[in-house]
Amino acid sequence: MTLTNRRRTAAALAVLTTVVAPMGGCSSMSPSQPENPAVAPLTDDESRGQVVDAAKEIVRAAGLDITYANLQWEWCNDQGEPPFRTKVELAFVTPAGEDRSAQIAASVAAQPGWESGPPPGYVPAGDVVHKGGVWASIGPGNNPERGGIQIYGECRNFNDHRDTDGVEITHEIRGG
Give a three-class secondary structure readout of 108-165.
HHCCCCCEECCCCCCCCCCEEEEECCEEEEEEECCCCCEEEEEEECCCCECCCCCCCC
Q: Who wins on pLDDT, 118 or 35?
A: 118
Give the mean model confidence (pLDDT) for residues 97-126. 92
Predicted model pTM:
0.78
Q: Tens of pLDDT along 26-76?
A: 333 344 444 455 579 999 999 999 999 999 999 999 999 999 999 999 999
Residue spans of the domains in the chain: they are 3-174
